[in-house]
Amino acid sequence: GQNIDQPTEMTATEGAIVQINCTYQTSGFNGLFWYQQHAGEAPTFLSYNVLDGLEEKGRFSSFLSRSKGYSYLLLKELQMKDSASYLCAVKDSNYQLIWGAGTKLIIKP
Amino acid sequence: GAVVSQHPSWVICKSGTSVKIECRSLDFQATTMFWYRQFPKQSLMLMATSNEGSKATYEQGVEKDKFLINHASLTLSTLTVTSAHPEDSSFYICSASPLGTESYEQYFGPGTRLTVT
């Protein structure tokens, strides 16, 4: 079966750095996505990785290792507004998005 | 940037009635639109994939006669929840991919919160 694992909840301090991990087992791979979802709202796109390595976009970076079936989302200089759920999703061989359950990130002052 | 709208943003209906939710891609054409359902504190659950001009593909366990999907044009897909029951109360979200199945990004609508009383 297809499976995506990420921690259920993480807590971090404002101004700090946090890394959210995601491991996946899917039938084929056509890219990995990270989305941010605030409570009661739809997800918004953060990043896309299809090749190994680090993609940096402002305070957010995403890393991919296809051989390990592993990705992480790195958030720097945390702000209170970063409190949200972070969803990892993988496109399989049929280009269908397989979603993780999401990681709820709590930022404390 | 690509924008997807949904209407209504929230709706309350009585048990047994039907509710239609619209999903529109405002500034791009989408051959494929996706309908998701999300219960509180749970992840997105794909309900169906909607392709313009053809029948929708439903995920296992989703009743196609209860959740009617119509994708009449490259910019509009509708989801009708027929004979709604309280257990259908959920957050329904659509998303769309621009033309080309290899497009890497899905653009999400703002969601529709359905409450069935």
State yes or no: pLDDT of A57 exceeds 60.
yes
Largest CA distance in chain A: 43
Task: Find where tokens 């790195």 sit.
Answer: A74
User: Tell me: the pLDDT tens digits for B27-83?
Assistant: 888 878 999 999 887 888 889 998 888 889 999 899 999 999 998 888 999 999 999
Q: Most A CBs within 10 Å: which of B3, B9, B32, B104, as the mutation test of the A interface? A: B104
Query: What mean pLDDT is reported for chain A?
Result: 94
User: Tell me: the pLDDT tens digits for A71-106?
Assistant: 999 999 999 999 999 999 998 887 778 889 999 999
Question: Two tokens at B96?
Answer: 């769309």
**Within an 8 Å CB–CB cutoff, is residue A64 touching chain B?**
no
Q: Binning pLDDT at 50, 70 and 90, where does residue B10 land?
A: very high
Size of interface A-B (CB pairs under 8 A): 43
Question: Rounded to an integer, what distance in angstroms lies between the CA atom of residue A84 and that of residue A73?
Answer: 13
Question: Rounded to an integer, what distance in angstroms lies between the CA atom of residue B81 and that of residue B12?
Answer: 12
Beta-carbon separation of B104 and A101 below 8 A: no
Give B95 to chain A, closest Cα distance, Å. Answer: 9
State yes or no: pLDDT of B100 exceeds 70.
no
State yes or no: pLDDT of B13 exceeds 90.
yes
What value, to the nearest 5°, has the Cα angle with vertex B1 and ends A105 and B2?
90
Beta-carbon separation of B43 and A42 below 8 A: no
Q: Most B CBs within 10 Å: which of A41, A48, A98, A106, as the mutation test of the B interface? A: A41
Q: Which residues contact A8 (CB under 8 A, 6 or more apart)?
A: A101, A103, A104
Q: What does the pLDDT read at residue A96?
A: 79
Q: What does the pLDDT read at residue B103?
A: 54
Question: Rounded to an integer, what distance in angstroms lies between the CA atom of residue B46 and that of residue A12?
Answer: 30
The residue-averaged pLDDT of B12-30 equals 94
The residue-averaged pLDDT of B14-20 equals 97
Nearest CB to B43 within list A48, A50, A100: A100
Q: Binning pLDDT at 50, 70 and 90, where does residue B14 land?
A: very high
